């Protein structure tokens, strides 16, 4: 006859519960600072993945501008389309001018009070005065990618 040996059961220690720490994925999008994104280039020779990402960012045509939070998800999308858009943070006064000059009736994204008019999240801008430097090169030499002076470009496009 064969004897079966029983394994001793290990004692299970209860671990103390840790406090929940907010990770970038768990924070609401409204707690992140917003950046302005302006589409510069058209659709010629564009990969389908980039075209779809621009549609998801609501940048359907050149010279359209949207404001998005700097969540890791949105920044990944911006990194994918950085060769077709210009983006950067803007000042509050530039945002106020942009809403006053180019804001259109639409959704509640930028309205704060119930009596305030509702604005469309996409701003349709003019081509910039004095034109672009180069629409195929990044910022120091052209107009694409991350810009520290996004205010200047938006004022030229209003």
pTM confidence score: 0.70
Looking at residue 54, what is its pLDDT?
A: 92
- Locate the domains of the chain by residue range: 32-157
Whole-angstrom distance, CA of residue 138 vs CA of residue 87:
11
Cβ-Cβ contacts under 8 Å for 133 (sequence gap 6 or more):
141, 142, 143
Whole-angstrom distance, CA of residue 144 vs CA of residue 150:
11
Of 17, 32, 38, 110, the residue nearest 74 (C-alpha) = 32
Looking at residue 120, what is its pLDDT?
A: 76
Q: pLDDT truncated to tens, each residue of the chain (158 aa)?
A: 566 666 666 665 665 555 444 444 555 556 677 888 999 988 888 899 999 999 999 999 999 999 898 889 999 999 999 889 999 998 888 888 888 887 766 655 555 555 566 667 788 888 888 878 877 777 778 788 898 888 888 888 88
Looking at residue 20, what is its pLDDT?
A: 46
Q: Any idea which fold 32-157 has?
A: Ribosomal Protein L30; Chain: A, (3.30.1390)
DSSP H or E segment with residue 155 = helix 150-157
The CA–CA distances, whole Å, from 64 to 15, 103, 127 equal 53, 12, 10
Looking at residue 105, what is its pLDDT?
A: 61
Whole-angstrom distance, CA of residue 78 vs CA of residue 140:
18
């Amino acid at each position: 006859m064969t004897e079966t040996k029983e394994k001793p059961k290990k004692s299970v220690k209860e671990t103390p519960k840790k406090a929940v720490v907010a990770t970038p994925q768990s924070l609401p999008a409204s707690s992140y600072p917003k950046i302005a994104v302006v589409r510069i280039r058209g659709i010629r020779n564009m990969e389908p993945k980039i075209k779809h990402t621009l549609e998801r960012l609501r940048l359907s045509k050149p010279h359209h501008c949207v404001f998005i939070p700097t969540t890791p998800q949105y920044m990944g999308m911006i990194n994918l389309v950085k060769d077709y858009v210009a983006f950067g943070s803007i000042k509050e006064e530039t945002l106020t001018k942009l809403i006053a000059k180019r804001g259109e009736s639409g959704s509640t994204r930028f309205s704060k009070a119930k009596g305030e008019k509702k604005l469309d999240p996409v701003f349709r801008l003019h081509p910039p005065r004095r034109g672009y430097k180069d629409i195929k090169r990044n910022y120091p030499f052209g107009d694409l990618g991350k810009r520290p002076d996004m205010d200047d470009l938006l004022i030229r496009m209003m």
